[in-house]
Amino acid sequence: GQQVMQIPQYQHVQEGEDFTTYCNSSTTLSNIQWYKQRPGGHPVFLIQLVKSGEVKKQKRLTFQFGEAKKNSSLHITATQTTDVGTYFCAGPLIYSGGYNKLIFGAGTRLAVTH
Amino acid sequence: DVKVTQSSRYLVKRTGEKVFLECVQDMDHENMFWYRQDPGLGLRLIYFSYDVKMKEKGDIPEGYSVSREKKERFSLILESASTNQTSMYLCASRLPGGNEQFFGPGTRLTVL
């Protein structure tokens, strides 16, 4: 079945360093979404990418969708302690009835040391 | 703002008990989802519902059932709780065909 893989599982950086997490799908995706879950919290939607090769920025966060629409990345420039959490990517699996469900990656947990 | 609420933040039950987890959303979303989250495994879909009284199995439905009698409420039922169902349970909702999922705060269930 469709799988979404994310690497690394965990990364520990010093505050001010950059961070990147990568997401790969076994199938072509119509779109990809990114969520952030703070420690003790619940996943919160960050962004959705739809177009091949799309790049979107949210302040220090840069999201990319691959040309083949099978991979994506999230890059954080100059991490801050507020960036701590687990970042999930998710892609839709579309059913014949037209509705879809999201397949989530296992997530990348980011730790930031001051 | 969309609000998704779950009946309990923490729950402790005994093996064999029937457990009900309730989820309510206030934005008239047709689609609702139940996930469980375990370390290293991410979010795994248990069941989802794309409308009232409709339900579909997700990736790990065994040992669970669901009920969707009203649009705003989606219940997850553990018919006979087992220790391997100890987990964080997250409910989510969204508009049909839509994208962004809104998650509830989660219920951390411990089965002894």
* CB spacing of B50 vs A104 below 8 angstroms: no
**Both tokens assigned to B60:** 């790990």
For residues B96 and B83, give the distance between their C-alpha atoms in angstroms, rounded to a whole number.
34
Burial of A67 (0-12, 13-18, 19+ CB in 10 A): exposed
pLDDT of amino acid B4? 96
B33, B43, B48, B102: best mutation site toward chain A, by most A Cβ within 10 Å?
A: B43
Mean pLDDT of chain A: 93
Give percent of chain B above pLDDT 90: 83
Model pLDDT, residue B86? 98
CA dist B64 and B78 (Å) reads 5
Q: How far is residue A64's CA from residue A75's CA, in Å, rounded to a whole number?
A: 9
Q: Using alpha carbons, list the distances in angstroms from residue A36 to A46, B11, B28, B53.
A: 7, 24, 24, 31
Q: Which residue of A has its CA nearest to B51?
A: A99
- Got the DSSP string for A39-102? TTS--EEEEEE-STT-EEEETTEEEEE-TTSSEEEEEESS--GGG-EEEEEEEEEE-TTS-EEE
Give the per-residue pLDDT at A106.
93
Label the pairing between strands A19-25 and A4-7: antiparallel
Q: Is B48 on the interface with A (CB under 8 A)?
A: yes
pLDDT digits (tens, 9 = 90+) for A44-68: 999 999 999 999 999 999 999 999 9
Question: B residues 77-106 near A, CB within 8 Å?
Answer: 90, 96-97, 99-106
Q: Is cis: bond before A8, omega within 30 of 0? A: yes
B100 burial via Cβ count (<10 Å: 0-12, 13-18, 19+): middle
- Residue A60 CB-density burial (10 A; 0-12 exposed, 13-18 middle, 19+ buried): middle
Note whether A42 contacts B58, CB cutoff 8 Å.
no
Q: Which of A31, A88, A95 is closest, CB to CB, to B43?
A: A88
Size of interface A-B (CB pairs under 8 A): 48
Identify all chain A residues contacting B97, using CB atoms and an 8 Å cutoff: 98-100
Phi, psi for A4 (deg, rounded to 5): -125, 120
Q: Which of B33, B40, B100 sits opposite A106 (nearest CB)?
A: B40
Is the Cβ of A8 closer than 8 Å to some Cβ of chain B?
no
Round the average pLDDT of chain B to a whole number and report it. 93
Distance from CA of B79 to the nearest CA of A (A): 24
pLDDT at A56: 98
SS3 content of chain B, % helix, strand, coil (to 5): 5, 55, 45
> Residue A88: which of B42, B56, B58 has the nearest Cβ?
B42
pLDDT band per the 50, 70, 90 thresholds, residue A97? low
Query: Are B104 and A42 within 8 A, CB to CB?
Result: yes
Q: Measure Cα distances from B11 to A96, B3, B69 in Å.
A: 37, 21, 23
